Amino acid sequence: MKKVFVLFALMITSLSFAQETSSIKGKILDGEFYNEPLLMASVSLDDATFSTQTNFRGNFEFNDIAPGKHNILVQFMGYEPMRLE
């Protein structure tokens, strides 16, 4: 099966001392061929507490989440699921 390449060089966790929430942004790319963006890939945070899909550029974003460590699950038809901690 194909593997998903997750570009987390662009993944940013924004923390602010004045706020009690943060955001996570990232980009999902096809790591098998030409690093093309995977559109409509499913991205879940902390076992589906929050979930979203990537846009046509492969970007996703979670807003208003509690600061700290989170697990991310990326799924796309025809690719192996990838879990990141």
In a 13 Å sphere around the CA of 21, the CA atoms on its Cβ side amount to 5
Backbone phi, psi, residue 30, to 5°: -80, 115
* CA quadruple 61, 64, 67, 70: dihedral sign: negative
Q: What does pTM read for this prediction?
A: 0.74
Position 40 scores a pLDDT of 96
Look up residue 48 and give its two tokens.
Answer: 């589906």
Nearest CA to 53 out of 83, 73, 79 is that of 73
Residue 74 has pLDDT above 70, yes or no: yes
In order of their start, the domains of the chain are 2-84 (2.60.40)
pLDDT, tens only, 24-73:
999 999 887 788 999 999 999 987 789 999 999 999 999 998 888 899 99
**DSSP class of 73:** E
